[in-house]
Structure 1
Amino acid sequence: MKVQVKYFGMIAEAVGKPEEELELDPGTSVSELKMNQVKSYGIKDPDSVQIAVNQHLNQEIELKEGDEVAFLPPFAGG
């Protein structure tokens, strides 16, 4: 199955590109994808990386064909 992965902020800088299309095994979870990308690209501080699937923050779902997965840097605010 194919998913579109987008990277933002310092994550895009670490990865060296803003997005890519990935071919994943059916049943791949968001957390599995995150672990693979963090390891592949050496993303620093993976615990602070948020993941949005189809613009919803949820790391406990299985991905499906055509999903858009965004890797978001830590949010600042106050």
Structure 2
Amino acid sequence: MKVNVKYFGAIAESAGKSEEVLDLEKGSSVKDLKNQQIKKYQIQDADSIQIAVNQDLKNEVELKDGDEVAFLPPFAGG
């Protein structure tokens, strides 16, 4: 199955790209993908990264063909 992965902020800098299409095994979870990409691109501060699937912040979901997965850096607020 193919998913479109988007990277933002410092994560995009670490990955050297803002998006890519990945071919994953059926049944892959968001957690599996996050761990894979953190290792692949040596992304720092992995615990503070949020993941959005189809623009919804969910971390415990099984990915489906055609999903859009966004890796979001820590948010600053005030």
Question: Where on the TM-score scale, by shorter chain, does this alignment land: which range?
Answer: over 0.9
In the TM superposition, what are the counterparts of 1:1-20 in structure 2 within 5 Å?
1-20=1-20
3-state SS of paired residue (1:32): helix
**CA distance in 2: counterparts of 1:67 and 1:59, whole angstroms:** 14
Amino acid at match of 2:36: N
Structure 2, unpaired ranges of 5+ = none
Q: Return the TM-score normalized by structure 1.
A: 0.99
Identity of aligned pairs, percent?
68
Taking structure 2 as the reference length, the TM-score comes to 0.99
- What is residue 53 of structure 2 aligned with on the other side? 53
CA–CA distance in structure 2, aligned partners of residues 77 and 6 of structure 1: 22
- Cα distance, 1:61 vs structure 2: 0.4
